[in-house]
Amino acid sequence: MVNPSQLSINTGVGESAAVTFAMQYEGDNVGTVIFPSLDLVPGVNIRTAGALFTPTGTPGGQALLQKYMSNQAATVDIFGSSSSSAITPLAAGLASVQLQSNMPGNPAQLLLGTALTILDDTGETGIAMATVTVNNPFVPGLTIKSIKSTVTYNGRTLGAIDLPSVTISVAGMSQQASQPLPLSMDLSLDSLMALMVDQANANNLNAEPIKALTKMAKDPTVKIPSSVFAGFNLPNFVKAAMVGLKVDVAMSVTVMVGEYETSLTLTQPGVPTSTDDTILKLLPIVGRPIAQSIVDLATLAFDSVMINSPAETDFTTNINGLIGNTGPFDAEITFPSGSTVAWVNGGDSSPIGQIAMPTVSAKADVGAKLALTNVPFHVASAQNMGAFVGYSLKAEAFDWEVVASNMTVIAMGAPIPGINMKKKVTLKGFNGLKDLTIEKYDLPSNDPNGIHLVLSAKLTNPSNVGIEMGTVQFSNEFQGQDTPIAMEGTLTKQTTEAGLKALGDMFRLALNGGSPNLIVRGKSVTPASGPVSWLDSAFKTLTMNVSLPSLGKQDIITGITLKTMALDFTGPNPYSVMTSSDNIEATFKIPFSFPLSITKVAEDMNIQLPQGHNVANLKLPMADAQTISPGLLKTAYSNQPLNVNDDSHETFNQFSKILTTGPGVQFYLSGTADTVAETAAGQVTIPGVAVNVASTLAGMNLNVGGASITDIKIVGGTSEYLEINQNVVLQNPSGLSVKVGDVAFNINYAGNAMGRAVVKNMELKPGANTLPAVFHMAPTNEHVRDGFLTGFCAGASFTLDVAGATDSTKVESLKDAMASVKMASTIKGITDKLIPVGSGAQPNILDMLQMTAPRKTPVQVMIYNPFDAPLFIKKMKATNYWEGKYFGELDEEVNLTVPPKSTVRSPTVTMVSPAGFGFMSTLLPFMMKYPQMILGIAADVSFEVQSTIVTYVGGSSGYFGNVGYNQTAIIKVQVGGKAPAGALPAGLADLVPHENNSTTTPVPSPTASTGDASTSTVVPSPTSASPSPATASPTGAITEPVTEPIAKRQVQTLEDGPGSEDPAVVEAWIKAVVNKLAADEGLPAYY
């Protein structure tokens, strides 16, 4: 408020301080503005006032409330009155106040969102449930007492809520979800489809399938390309489309704000609406009309119907057919209630049964192919069924009516139940089964005096309905008369030459056949489950014309299998291979089933690769044969040439190649066979039986079986190669035996050529073949050479590639075969120790303990030659480690020859250990671990030896190679030399208890001494340092050294050694010697 005067007004405090003004909107009094105390000063005054808002009962009040709740500002009028103040003088002035004020809208929306749930019966009732989240922007509680609302989307009505009485309570300044409220939905196709299309566009989804479905719903005959629905899943689409749904809600509600009741009419746009999976319950509402119209337009056709195991009331059936024109999308069709079948006779439908239909699958633009097997069929009426079968056996065609109800169509991922189908199907009738054909004669068994004869008949069924008849009987007539021709009979045994010839002629005629004409009448039919009256009576009315078939010329031999076969390629002509076989099996079959024994056979066969192309010829003379089981004979032959045609050498080469490295080969045998057979009716000779069969021959499959290399012996070496004798074990899983002469194989290791292995006079027989071979190993890569020799001596395993080449053999017809050989083999190196027990080292105590020069130790190494050839060792280089610590190395030429399988001690070589004090960290623990060495006692010490040996296998002019070899070896260490003379340091005597460290030492006499001071032993006595003299024998010979005991005493000098193996004594003594040697060199003490 603006006070333009210079006058200030203050109403003070208390009851009389309040100032009130009337508030009006659009001419209606809508409330009162209240100032608890009014204080006006000159100029602009901004004051906080309360208000009593009473919108009920006036249009202006309702309009102002709607604006407020719709977040719209409104201009209200403020009027003073004589009652504006209890202060009389002030009231007169305030009565003339007229002001305008902008009342801002409420930015908080009443509805925060809604959740839609579709009920199971929404499709029938049109009622869904909506849960609304109500926002109370007021401080007092808000209660909604009635609702009348309309929900729209893009201007289209989706539904409405009309609840004259309801209670939705929301605490002040909070939000609350209501109870589910019934929403009356517009379930019209246009409304729902438009909603999905618009939401799809809003969510950037492809709406074309929905648009296409809308077209199909309005016009079932419209053609939609199946590509529109490719990969389309309707439930997923609907759920994705409904994401982010916002609706406009126009509502009129009765509310109570606190205790104040009023009505409110407003429109709230863009209310977020969520849906759950129940939205999919709308799909049948949309889909059922579409699915039903598609089913109504679909076609049903049965290509064939087979009645299996007929009985009076039940049977099973196989049905093949098509439900066509099922629409542009894939679908699954289920028949929960099955389908009924009725026979349409004239205008009447006679129910004949119920089919339990399984689920069928329909493909877009194709339909549902029916391939139903063993579907149960329940006969609804035996009388109707009998009438139908009787009619169908005589009629050319008949009609079925197939009815299915409550089907479910599952399309685009959405199940649509409640679909019905009624279709008429026309099938061909049996047309009297006029053509009965005798399919074949059979001679199935022997009779007491010959061969039993039966006939097999075939009914030509013009219908696409089949019936499993079971056993049928016919009466036969020939030339219009009852003919006593039995369906079974006997070919009698022949004993005369003429009879046997006639028997042979009969068989030849049977193979060529005649064609007598017969009239056959149905006599009875008995299914496997027992007689069926209606089927039997109908079958007796049949009359059929038949003719006996011409059997034609038969192929007696149906298969030939070469179980074993020997091939000798060492002859003068590589394309005339000598062959033998002790096991050829041939299957044969005559057009009859009586027992038959073939006793002899001769063959003239061409091997064909491929069929029709002759490659080679094999002529086998007449030989004995044995029928080992019905239809199977066995024969054999020996030393018959397989002659390859001149124009087929290359094909035969490939044939040999497959037999060598392949699992087997199929080929064809074409030619003739002469057979002699024994029958119950006599001996039958059948010459010139045509043979044209496929056969197989198992291959040796060498590349799969691999090669095992055993008994490896290195027997020699030249400057060019290392000669190795070995056995190559090849597995031959086939029945083939093959002689191929000398064969050479290339040996490779890790892609490097290692040399050639030659097998002399190679012959492979079935099973494991151990072939001696000579391998000349000569790798061109010296690293490969050395690595192989190193690994071989260390017992390593190597995977070698064994491969053939065109020059592996001199047999021309086997060059390709040998070149195809590619096998893997693993060999294992030797495990013998190259450094056996017996190596020794003789270090000098002074040399080991001095500090100024490298320490040198004489060493002799025992060397074992594991080869079967002399081993010349040119040079040895070895690095030695003791307990993982570097101890020294040797690197010297030895020029030592070790005989095969022998052990030789090397010349003395020198191991050099490091100079200086640093090595004492290794040497001191070493001597402390073996203290007996200090006392002159040899110790067996384990060293890790890492060596490189320069060798010549086969002698000094043999095969050169560097062998790296690592081994833990036991070296006998004997410490020699004498410690420096000097007094034992003070403290060492104190360290050693007298009673525990006294010793008695054998002392050689002076006459036994060599005179070398370094090897003599000086042992002081308690009274004298003079040695005891030796006593000479009368002959003047030197006597054995005399040892005299020394009394227990304490060691006093360095040169006498530590005198004990106690580690503390040994350590102190070693340190004393080191310090003494340092002092002799003019160096400071190290310890």
Q: Per-residue pLDDT tens for 685-715? A: 777 788 899 999 999 999 998 889 999 999 9
Cβ–Cβ < 8 Å for 713, 724: yes
| 3-state class (DSSP) for residue 468 | coil
**Is the same domain home to 324 and 239?**
no
CA distances from 147 to 109, 664, 741 (A): 16, 88, 107
For every residue of 180-206, DSSP letters joined together read PEEEEE---HHHHHHHHHHHHHHTT--
Domain's final residue, options 973, 999, 1023? 973
Longest dimension (CA), the chain: 173
**Is the same domain home to 795 and 818?**
yes
Give 303-357 pLDDT, tens digit per residue: 888 888 888 888 889 999 998 888 898 889 999 999 999 999 888 899 989 998 8
Supply 230's token pair. 């490719």
Cβ–Cβ < 8 Å for 11, 87: yes
Mean pLDDT in residue range 105-130: 91
Does residue 872 register a pLDDT over 90? Answer: yes
Instruction: Please tell me the least confidently modeled range out of 343-357, 560-574, 676-690, 780-794.
Output: 676-690
Alpha carbons 1027 and 1018: distance in angstroms, whole number = 8
Alpha carbons 1056 and 1001: distance in angstroms, whole number = 10
Return the percentage of the chain with pLDDT > 90, whole number. Answer: 43
Alpha carbons 1011 and 1013: distance in angstroms, whole number = 6
CB atoms within 10 A of CB 371: 11
Quick one: which of 687, 587, 694, 579 has its CA closest to 637? Answer: 579
Q: Which residues pair with 147 in a beta bridge?
A: 163, 253
Domain count, the chain: 7
Quick one: which of 695, 442, 443 has its CA closest to 587? Answer: 695
Helices (H), 416-572: 497-512, 533-539
The band of 491, judged by pLDDT with boundaries at 50, 70 and 90, is: low
**Is the same domain home to 668 and 744?**
no
Quick one: which of 65, 77, 97, 61 has its CA closest to 23? Answer: 77
Does residue 601 register a pLDDT over 60? Answer: yes
CB atoms within 10 A of CB 164: 9
Buried b (16+ CB within 10 A) or exposed e, 207-222: bebbbbbbebbeeeee
| Model pLDDT, residue 947 | 92
Domain's final residue, options 665, 698, 731? 698
| Model pLDDT, residue 1050 | 44
CA distances from 334 to 145, 410, 575, 1019 (A): 49, 8, 68, 116
Alpha carbons 543 and 519: distance in angstroms, whole number = 7
Give 429-443 pLDDT, tens digit per residue: 888 777 666 666 677
Mean pLDDT in residue range 215-219: 87
**Is the same domain home to 844 and 873?**
yes
Residue 1057 lies in a domain: no
Residue 465 lies in a domain: yes
> In this structure, which amino acid lies at residue 1085?
A
The band of 914, judged by pLDDT with boundaries at 50, 70 and 90, is: very high
Instruction: Locate the DSSP E strands across 282-366.
Output: 299-308, 314-324, 331-334, 339-345, 348-355, 360-363
Give residue 928's domain range: 840-973
**Is the same domain home to 96 and 152?**
no
| Model pLDDT, residue 97 | 85
Cβ–Cβ < 8 Å for 549, 438: yes
Alpha carbons 603 and 581: distance in angstroms, whole number = 14
Does residue 17 register a pLDDT over 80? Answer: yes
Strand order in the sheet with 517-526: 481-482, 471-478, 517-526, 543-547
Alpha carbons 284 and 290: distance in angstroms, whole number = 9
| Model pLDDT, residue 522 | 65
Quick one: which of 944, 671, 661 has its CA closest to 804? Answer: 661
| Model pLDDT, residue 476 | 38
What number of residues does the chain have? 1087
| 3-state class (DSSP) for residue 654 | helix
Residue 820 lies in a domain: yes
The band of 197, judged by pLDDT with boundaries at 50, 70 and 90, is: very high
Higher pLDDT, 129 or 455: 129
Cβ–Cβ < 8 Å for 532, 309: no
| Model pLDDT, residue 505 | 59
Alpha carbons 428 and 465: distance in angstroms, whole number = 7
Residue 537 lies in a domain: yes
Alpha carbons 690 and 947: distance in angstroms, whole number = 76
Alpha carbons 350 and 343: distance in angstroms, whole number = 5
Alpha carbons 739 and 566: distance in angstroms, whole number = 8
Phi–psi pair at 434, nearest 5 degrees: -70, -25
**Is the same domain home to 571 and 675?**
yes
Residue 582 lies in a domain: yes
Counting DSSP H helices and E strands in the chain, the numbers are: 19, 59
CA atoms within 13 A on the CB side of 25: 27
322: Cβ contacts below 8 Å, ≥ 6 apart: 299, 300, 301, 303, 367, 368, 369, 370
Residue 1010 lies in a domain: no
| Model pLDDT, residue 786 | 93
The band of 480, judged by pLDDT with boundaries at 50, 70 and 90, is: very low
Residue 1062 lies in a domain: no
Residue 50 DSSP symbol: E
| Model pLDDT, residue 9 | 86
Higher pLDDT, 1055 or 565: 565
Instruction: Please tell me the least confidently modeled range out of 62-71, 274-283, 879-888.
Output: 62-71
**Is the same domain home to 134 and 149?**
yes
Does residue 516 register a pLDDT over 70? Answer: no
| Model pLDDT, residue 555 | 75
Alpha carbons 419 and 333: distance in angstroms, whole number = 10
| Model pLDDT, residue 44 | 92
**Is the same domain home to 391 and 474?**
no
| Model pLDDT, residue 1042 | 37
> How are beta strands 414-428 and 168-170 bridged, if at all?
unpaired
| Model pLDDT, residue 944 | 95
Alpha carbons 143 and 134: distance in angstroms, whole number = 10
| Model pLDDT, residue 507 | 66
Quick one: which of 535, 549, 536 has its CA closest to 436? Answer: 549
| Model pLDDT, residue 673 | 86
Residue 502 lies in a domain: no
CB atoms within 10 A of CB 132: 26
Give 917-966 pLDDT, tens digit per residue: 889 889 989 988 888 888 778 889 999 999 999 999 999 999 999 999 89
Q: Phi-psi region for residue 981, left (φ > 0), alpha (ψ -120 to 50) or beta?
A: beta
| Model pLDDT, residue 1074 | 84
Higher pLDDT, 916 or 498: 916
**Is the same domain home to 116 and 235?**
yes
| Model pLDDT, residue 291 | 87
Alpha carbons 465 and 458: distance in angstroms, whole number = 16
Q: Phi-psi region for residue 303, left (φ > 0), alpha (ψ -120 to 50) or beta?
A: alpha
Return the percentage of the chain with pLDDT > 70, whole number. Answer: 86
What CATH number should be reported for the domain holding residue 741? 2.60.40
Cβ–Cβ < 8 Å for 847, 981: no
Domain's final residue, options 377, 405, 429? 429
Average pLDDT value for the chain: 83
Higher pLDDT, 779 or 394: 779
| Model pLDDT, residue 728 | 93
The band of 486, judged by pLDDT with boundaries at 50, 70 and 90, is: very low
Buried b (16+ CB within 10 A) or exposed e, 97-114: eeeeeebeeeeebbbbbb
Mean pLDDT in residue range 277-291: 89
Instruction: Please tell me the least confidently modeled range out of 199-213, 567-581, 715-729, 1017-1031.
Output: 1017-1031
| Model pLDDT, residue 46 | 87
**Is the same domain home to 444 and 422?**
no
Does residue 91 register a pLDDT over 50? Answer: yes
Burial of 58 per CB tally in 10 Å (0-12, 13-18, 19+): middle
Higher pLDDT, 28 or 639: 639
Buried b (16+ CB within 10 A) or exposed e, 603-614: bbbbbbbeeeeb
> In this structure, which amino acid lies at residue 81?
S
| Model pLDDT, residue 688 | 74
Alpha carbons 86 and 79: distance in angstroms, whole number = 16
CA distances from 311 to 222, 341, 1000, 1021 (A): 47, 17, 119, 129
**Is the same domain home to 812 and 865?**
no
Mean pLDDT in residue range 887-910: 95
**Is the same domain home to 125 and 78?**
no
